[in-house]
Amino acid sequence: MEKKVSIKDIARHLGVSTALVSYVLNNKAGRVSVEMAEKIRQAATELNYRPNLIARSLQSGKTNTLGLIVADISNPFFSHIARIVEDEAKKSGYTVIFGSSDESVEKSQALMDALLNRQVDALIIAPAEFTEEQLRALQKKKIPFVLIDRYFKDIQANCVRIDNYRAAYSAVEHLINTGNKRIAMMAYDTGMRHIAERIEGYKAALKDNGITPQESWLVRASYHHLEEEATLGMQKLLSPKPVVDAFFFATNSLAIQGIRQIIRLNIKVPDELSVISFDEADAFDFFYAPITYVRQSLEDIGRNAVQLVLGSIARQETAPREVLVDAGLIIRESTKKQHL
């Protein structure tokens, strides 16, 4: 095994003091001449010097790493946020380690334990259902964290999210304004507040426009049996012929399952069925009628999350803050029919 090059080796190679090399490589060169600083950095590169991050973290009490826990990193919504978090953290000299909870309490805890064992300085979390106690444990240990996309009413914590109720209300009102009267919704079968608020917004928009919500119009599907339950729910409303004229999907993953059924049943969008999804997905662009969707500002979510958590690390933030970011409706071909 090749011997690891140390600061002493570089100093010996150049015939200078160890302290001088340390100052330069730790960006504390001070009065060291530009020429000498460049000489030291060049020697470090040639000798393949790599800093001892463990030793450095023991000295500073920080590892300059953040942990990011999301539901599913393969979901475009979360993968885009992960990239934004990574880029924003890098500006402040932080590295991000991330993983997927798969909406599992057990996997969420295992990820938290693994990240904390790696001495991350803080966590950014899109929490799974029933993980309140995990978050309370973090608070008890005084580990900084910020919640994104989801939150719990009984947990006072830094949080970055949108107004889900208002966003869902606006989406359903758009469906009504384009002539739809029998509007179905598909949502995850969960007690999480962000989904509950989207359902509340859906129902309120119907009622405020003189439409009585039907229980059969609300299709619920579990995360772990998504394809089976989504298929069954949609077939009841769309086969042998549609009994609803529009579908509002609470997430992009639900919308993708819905589009598959629409294609299988040979239902024409938007002529026979209007479609709106929460959040975008690359697949929407390949459907013959590009899907209208609620756009969340992922840039604002990611950047605000990093800023909040770095403020907590630096002890600049004391009381928990909730940041609401903008959401808007991107209108495309899937809602352009007119019954008026």
pLDDT digits (tens, 9 = 90+) for 251-278: 999 999 999 999 999 999 999 999 999 9
On the question of pLDDT at 242 being above 70, the answer is yes
In this predicted structure, the answer to whether residue 316 has a pLDDT above a threshold of 90 is no
Confidence class for position 340, pLDDT limits 50, 70, 90: very low
**pLDDT, tens digit (0-9, with 9 covering 90-100), for 148-189:** 999 999 999 999 999 999 999 999 999 999 999 999 999 999
CB atoms within 10 A of CB 286: 9
Give 32's pLDDT tier (boundaries 50, 70, 90).
Answer: confident
Pair of tokens at residue 234: 């949609």
Closest by Cα among 175, 152, 150 to 164: 150
Which CATH code, of 1.10.3720.10, 3.40.50.720, 3.75.10.10, 3.40.50.2300, is assigned to 164-296+329-335? 3.40.50.2300
* pLDDT over 80 at 27, yes or no: no
Per-residue pLDDT at 175: 98
Angle at the Cα of 115 from the Cα atoms of 124 and 312, rounded to 5 degrees: 40
First vs last C-alpha separation in the chain? 76
Average model confidence (pLDDT) for the chain? 91
Topology annotation, domain 64-162+298-326? Rossmann fold (3.40.50)
Q: pTM for this structure?
A: 0.81
pLDDT confidence band for 221 (50 / 70 / 90): very high
Round to whole Å and give the CA distance between 178 and 326: 23
CA angle 120, 124, 130 (to 5 degrees): 110
For residue 202, report the phi and psi dihedrals to the nearest 5 degrees.
-60, -50
Please give the pLDDT value at position 339.
46
User: Tokens at residue 249, please?
Assistant: 């999907």
Q: Which of the pair, 33 or 28, is modelled with greater confidence? A: 33
pLDDT tens, position by position, 101-119: 999 999 999 999 999 999 9
Which residue would you say has higher pLDDT here, 173 or 57? Answer: 173
Q: Which residues of 251-268 are buried (b: 16+ CB within 10 A; e: fewer)?
A: bbbbbbbbbebbeebebe
d(CA 57, CA 75) in angstroms, rounded, equals 33
Q: Give φ, ψ of 143 to 5 degrees.
A: -90, 120
For the cut 80, the answer to whether the pLDDT of residue 26 exceeds it is no
Is the pLDDT at 4 greater than 90, yes or no? no
Confidence (pLDDT) at 45? 84
Residue 340, CB-side half-sphere exposure with 13 Å CA sphere: 9
Which has the closest alpha carbon to 309: 119, 152, 60, 92? 92
Q: What is the mean pLDDT of residues 221-235?
A: 94
pLDDT higher for 14 or 55? 14
Domain with CATH 3.40.50.2300 in the chain: 64-162+298-326, 164-296+329-335
